[in-house]
Amino acid sequence: MSKRNLTIDIDPRAYAAVRGLEKYISESGLDKIHYKLIKIRASQMNGCAFCIDKHAREARELGFSEQRIYLLNAWRETELYTEEERAILALTEEVTSIANHGVSDEVYNNAVALLGEAYTKAVVMGVITINAWNRIAITDHWPLK
């Protein structure tokens, strides 16, 4: 993989704009554990090694078990995730792959029923934010640390 100039070095304002989204998320009431689930799952889907590694390490620091991290890409096949977490993961997957079929009423309405509309909107913004980071990291070739 070739070394590329980083977005933050070329135009720090672009990086700052995504940091602004992170600030919104931190003030939105989105639970840190929920946000880690979002970050890891979207990063898995996008193939962002840097973000998967970073957020899996941070999830361990928050008390995630190895099993919950390892099985996240197969969350539908296990009972390790709560009903709310499952709704968040389903919404994460649909927003991340939005070009394939949009966000279904079933997934969106289930999230709203379980989480409330405001929290669901915070989840969506969390998904949008990690997808932005994934695209920057992948395009810039961020190295693993």
**pLDDT confidence band for 49 (50 / 70 / 90):** very high
pLDDT surpasses 80 at 116: yes
- Between CA 120 and CA 65 the distance in angstroms is 25
Q: H helices of 11-104, where? A: 12-28, 32-46, 49-61, 66-70, 83-96, 98-101
- Between CA 120 and CA 11 the distance in angstroms is 32
Q: What is the DSSP letter of 145?
A: -
Quick: pLDDT tens for 54-75.
999 999 999 999 999 999 999 9
Predicted TM-score (pTM) of this structure? 0.95
**pLDDT confidence band for 108 (50 / 70 / 90):** very high
**pLDDT confidence band for 3 (50 / 70 / 90):** confident
